[in-house]
Structure 1
Amino acid sequence: MIIIGLAGKARVGKDTAAAYLNDRHKLAQVAFAQPIKHALTALGFYQEDYDTVERKNEIIPWLGVSYRRLAQTLGTEWGRELHPDFWLLLAQRGVEAREKLGCSGVVISDVRFDNEADWVRARGGLIVHMEGPARSGMAVDGEGHASERGIKRQLNDVVVSNNGSLDFLYRQLDTVMEMLEQDRRFLENDE
């Protein structure tokens, strides 16, 4: 099973890349933060009300914090403090379920911590570091938070530049997929 983990700063295009890999290469989309979004929805913070960076960063008047800050603290200060692999273990269950259903691969759109990257690599997956300017001129609320600091690059990781057009980004992602397919064919023939 192909596993790609996308890493990079907020608003660099990770969700755009994941959607493309899903549409073009049929990789199932997984996010470590998906259960966090579901939990916030259950508390009355509906994702469609926070669908832009501006809305995610807006202070909720009656609460005094932004949606982004709610998600960060639920994910890190609660979930990761409870168990460092809490969100990872939930995502692992989703990946394993997709594999049992015959899914050829998954793309994880939000690798934010080294233990998440290590988990992807330990399963033969590839970390793709996305670089480029954030897609919004405004500051991102909570950008100094632990979840926004990034992960360490390792030797076999790949860097994709999102400094140009969408077509340029997509061509790079296609090249990554070609490389993974060649590696998979080589390993299958070697057995």
Structure 2
Amino acid sequence: MTSANPLSSSKRIIGLAGLARSGKDTVARMLLEHDRVAAYALADPLKEGCQVLFGLSDDQAWGDDGKESNIALWGRSPRQFFQRVGTEWMRGHDPDHWLMRAERELNAPARAGDVDSSRLQDPDAVFRLGAEAIFGLSCRQAWNLEAGDSEDAFWRMTPNEMFELLRRFALDDYPDFIQRRMERAVTPPTRRARIAPHTDFLVLKDIRFENEASYIRRRGGLVWHIRRSTQRIDDHSSEHGIAIAPGDTVIDNNGTLDQLAGRVGEAWRRVEGSDPMRGLTPGT
């Protein structure tokens, strides 16, 4: 199941591509200093989902150092969970899933109210919380029993089908998942992905796959490659990088922060002055 037009919005998109620790987050922060710019990481709902599915702490889910440390309970590091769930689970289910999740965030359903804490003791609570993050469900869709069998028109799945999908993936990886998960408290994720309204530019901070870059280019967006002479952290497919295409921009990040800021500023000025459907010259 693939959406016909992920990321269909009036916002112009700048996708940041680069290996881990190449400086994508730093470049995104620099771009956010400009008016009319919002930022979104395709990995934000992934991290929220992993946080609730596997009981990750804030440092493990969101910190730079905590995500590299092996978790004895699971035999994986948070980064390995992000790769596993993001790629083998969800991209295996639909290669466009995370693009669709970004589109969902642009047109998110109301999430009025929070789940009653007593519901967090339900046997399937982690899968409901996980689906709420990974699919962008409303609180009602995730927790109202009557809503469980109502198809979500965007995903063409019912919430119950989403819960079952995550349950199947979890049990395939860990047949004793339920028993292991009981060793950690079940709580909602502490950070929610949001795209600020009334902005003209949307920065996607973590473009990792060719299909993601292709969609951005096809809808008139731009792909910026952040290049830094740093050792690749691992050989997972999400860290293979994106090929440079005509119209892309390459930003070198092998100097000082001031030098990087200058290169980002120059590229940004060209974006502001360019036709909405025309890319930038490679090698900026």
CA-atom RMSD in angstroms: 2.4
1:41 pairs with 2:51 = yes
Inter-CA distance 42–186: structure 2 relative to 1 (3 Å threshold) = closer
Equivalent AA in structure 2 for residue 184 of structure 1: D
- The Cα shift of 1:171 comes to 1.1
CA distance in 1, matches of 2:23, 2:246: 23
**Counterpart of 1:150?**
241
Q: Is the 8 A contact 2:17 2:242 kept in 1?
A: yes
- Partner Cα distance (1:31, 1:65) in 2: 22
Matched, 1:30 2:40: yes
Within 5 Å, give how 1:13-24 maps onto structure 2: 13-24=23-34
Q: Which residue of 1 aligns with 2:229?
A: 133
Q: Aligned-pair distance for 1:100?
A: 10
**Are the equivalent residues in 2 in contact too, given 1:9–1:150 (CA < 8 A)?**
yes
Which whole-Å CA distance do the structure 2 matches of 1:151 and 1:186 have between them?
21
Q: Distance in 1 between matches of 2:216 and 2:106?
A: 11
Higher helix proportion (structure 1 or 2): 1
Deviation, structure 1 residue 175? 1.0
Counterpart among 103, 111, 133 of residue 92 in structure 1 = 103
Where does residue 181 of structure 1 map in the other structure? Answer: 272
Partner of 2:113: none
Q: Work out which of the two has the higher radius of gyration on C-alpha atoms and give 1 or 2.
A: 2
**Number of corresponding residues:** 182
CA–CA separation in structure 2 for the residues paired with 1:150 and 1:144: 10
Whose strand proportion is higher, 1 or 2?
1
Shift in alpha-carbon separation, 1:99–1:74, aligned structure 2, 3 A: closer
CA distances 1:125-151 after superposition (whole Å, capped 9, x unpaired): 1100011133xx8x73xx100100011
Residues 13-33 of structure 1: per-residue CA shift (max 9 Å, x gap): 101111111123442111111
Aligned to 2:217: 121
Identity fraction in percent = 37
Counterpart CA distance in 1 for 2:240 and 2:107 is 28
In the other structure, the counterpart of 1:59 is: 70
Match in the other structure for 2:90: 79
1:171–1:96 distance in 2 versus 1, CA, 3 Å = farther
How many angstroms does 1:3 deviate by? 1.2
TM-score (normalised: structure 2): 0.59
Instruction: Give the secondary structure class of the aligned counterpart of 1:77.
Output: helix
Contact 1:36/1:75 (<8 A) preserved: yes
- In the TM superposition, residue 58 of structure 1 has moved relative to its aligned partner by 1.1
How far residue 89 of structure 1 moved from its aligned partner, in angstroms, is 0.6
* Gaps in structure 1 of 5+ consecutive residues: none
The DSSP-based 3-state class of the residue aligned with 1:3 is strand
| Aligned-partner SS, 1:129 | strand
Q: 1:33 to 1:51 in 2, by over 3 A?
A: closer
Deviates more, 1:4-13 or 1:101-110: 101-110
The 2-side partners of 1:186 and 1:6 are apart by 18
